[in-house]
Amino acid sequence: MFDSLSEKLQKVFKNLRGESRISEQHLDETLKEIRIALLEADVNFKVVKQFTDIVKQKSLGQDVMQSLSPGQQIVKIVHDELIEMLGGENVRLHFASQPPTVIMMVGLQGSGKTTSSGKLAKWLAKNNHRPMLVSVDVYRPAAREQLKVIAKDIDVKIWEGNPGEKPLALCEGALREARNTGHDVLLIDTAGRLHIDEELMQELTEIKNKLHPHEILFVADAMLGQDAVKSAQQFHERLGFNGFILTKMDGDARGGAALSIKQVTGQPVKFVGVGEKYDALEVFHPDRLASRIIGMGDVMSLIEKAQEVVDSKQALDALKKDTFTLEDFRDQLKQIRKLGSMEQILAMLPSVGPFKEMQKAKVDEKEIGRTEAIINSMTAKERRNHQILNGSRKKRIAKGSGTSVQEVNQLLKQYVQAQKMMKNMKNSFFGRRMKGMKMPQMPF
């Protein structure tokens, strides 16, 4: 996501930071490079012009041009204006004071609407809500069956209604069922088309007028770029909605839709889909995305993700132990895998200093799986004491894990390095303080 734009902007900023004074001509050249980078990222040309005009106006201010580090000041201005372009601040879902909250999912066919309905239901369930799903796409039977399968996979109730029911009747039945069974959110997966037509809009308008949804979320495929922005604008003019879910953000290296959609439609992006799994839905934070685009990383999201999926007690126990075994090493690798792919993790780190080289590294995801297989092929005694691993034992382990003796030796080398690192942490002031601590209650 935004790889190309981020790389080009960082190159521009690198040239800026080396200047002690910046002339208006130099600024114009810089803004030209930024303009080209944004247009190549498929950002709406009107949005690009507005963006560069504001950056220029603010950058020509006396405080900036006469400062000791005008380059850094301009980078800050670009960063702040990127945040504004993306929506300014995170806009949360609006929940009804009297449940159930009704959320309509709308969009064109093929945008990922049904999958996003399931992802949002799982996100709601994880955040202490009781969602219920209903599909009203009676024209494409596979859509209703798909949502039924998703609901079963994520363990969320779905309202199927009676055979032959019309979309409006399905919605009304689902709403009654949600009220009667204590479900506080009803997610309606509506029908889509390959294009906007009168029949589709009439049906959606009837549902809107009858159920008065608290949220209407437009699901847009980020890979479509400005085509997604255009269809969203047309949809908003006909139906009206109050937020976006942008899908396939992990597959769009340009990112023009995300950068344009708020400015063009006036409606905020609330969630982004970043993968195929049902938990690959993230709350959209304009400030964090802006930081990633200019190379500052997104450490906050990484920390939050770690708090969600990593067993902090297990990590603390490993540090408090006098020994760090191969079993501990395997468990730590499993914790890392919960955070997502290594590529996703590295993308959240700043593109400066030592992190820059780390991001360039090509990580073989299968390597972690091979490591686990090797450790699992050892006996409990071998995992607790790696020094007993002689040649014959290594051959047996390699055969059992489908690897080579060289790979077993490579793993042991990595393990010894990790063991030394854990020992240093334990012996540090931080480690000594932690050793006698009780596990605090985490705020999540």
> What band does 316 get if pLDDT is binned at 50, 70 and 90?
low
Mean pLDDT of 146-168: 91
What pLDDT does 325 receive? 84
CATH number of the CATH domain containing 244: 3.40.50.300
Q: Specify the number of domains making up the chain.
A: 3
Indicate if the pLDDT at residue 428 is higher than 90.
no
Q: Is residue 265 part of a domain?
A: yes
Asked if 317 and 289 sit in the same domain, the reply is no
Asked if 250 and 340 sit in the same domain, the reply is no
> What band does 440 get if pLDDT is binned at 50, 70 and 90?
very low
Q: pLDDT digits over 218-236, tens only?
A: 998 888 777 888 888 888 8
Asked if 53 and 137 sit in the same domain, the reply is no
Asked if 272 and 133 sit in the same domain, the reply is yes
Q: pLDDT digits over 98-127, tens only?
A: 999 999 999 888 888 999 999 999 999 999
Please say which residue of 236, 266, 296 terminates a domain.
296
Of 256 and 36, which is predicted with more confidence? 36
CATH number of the CATH domain containing 13: 1.20.120.140
111-120, 189-198, 247-256, 410-419: lowest mean pLDDT where?
247-256
Residue 30 burial (CB count, 10 A): 23
Q: Is residue 441 part of a domain?
A: no
Q: Is residue 361 part of a domain?
A: yes
Phi then psi dihedrals of residue 158, to 5 deg? -125, 140
What pLDDT does 441 receive? 36
> What band does 74 get if pLDDT is binned at 50, 70 and 90?
confident
Asked if 108 and 43 sit in the same domain, the reply is no
Q: Is residue 91 part of a domain?
A: no
Please say which residue of 51, 85, 119 terminates a domain.
85
> What band does 353 get if pLDDT is binned at 50, 70 and 90?
very low
Asked if 173 and 252 sit in the same domain, the reply is yes
Its pTM surpasses 0.85: no
Asked if 105 and 79 sit in the same domain, the reply is no
> What band does 435 get if pLDDT is binned at 50, 70 and 90?
very low
Q: Is residue 237 part of a domain?
A: yes
Of 33 and 258, which is predicted with more confidence? 33
Mean pLDDT of 298-312: 54
CA distance 325 to 415: 9
Please say which residue of 241, 270, 296 terminates a domain.
296
Asked if 133 and 275 sit in the same domain, the reply is yes
Q: Is residue 259 part of a domain?
A: yes
Asked if 215 and 360 sit in the same domain, the reply is no
Mean pLDDT of 306-328: 62
What pLDDT does 17 receive? 65
Asked if 268 and 121 sit in the same domain, the reply is yes
Q: Is residue 94 part of a domain?
A: no
Helix/strand/coil (H, E, C) string of the chain? CCHHHHHHHHHHHHHHHCCCCCCHHHHHHHHHHHHHHHHHCCCCHHHHHHHHHHHHHHHCCHHHHCCCCHHHHHHHHHHHHHHHHCCCCCCCCCCCCCCCEEEEEECCCCCCHHHHHHHHHHHHHHCCCCEEEEECCCCCHHHHHHHHHHHHHHCCEEECCCCCCCHHHHHHHHHHHHHHHCCCEEEEECCCCCCCCHHHHHHHHHHHHHHCCCEEEEEEEHHHCHHHHHHHHHHHHHCCCCEEEEECHHHCCCCHHHHHHHHHHCCCEEEEECCCCCCCEEECCHHHHHHHHCCCCCHHHHHHHHHHHCCHHHHHHHHHCCCCCHHHHHHHHHHHHHCCCHHHHHHCCCCCHHHHHHHHCCCCHHHHHHHHHHHHCCCHHHHHCHHHCCHHHHHHHHHHHCCCHHHHHHHHHHHHHHHHHHHHHHHCHHHHHHHCCCCCCCCC
Mean pLDDT of 325-352: 67
> What band does 189 get if pLDDT is binned at 50, 70 and 90?
very high
> What band does 253 get if pLDDT is binned at 50, 70 and 90?
low
Q: Is residue 95 part of a domain?
A: no
Asked if 334 and 225 sit in the same domain, the reply is no
CATH number of the CATH domain containing 384: 1.10.260.30
Asked if 109 and 231 sit in the same domain, the reply is yes
Whether a cis peptide bond, with omega within 30° of 0, leads into 70 is: no
Look up residue 19 and give its amino acid: E
The domain in which residue 54 lies consists of 3-85
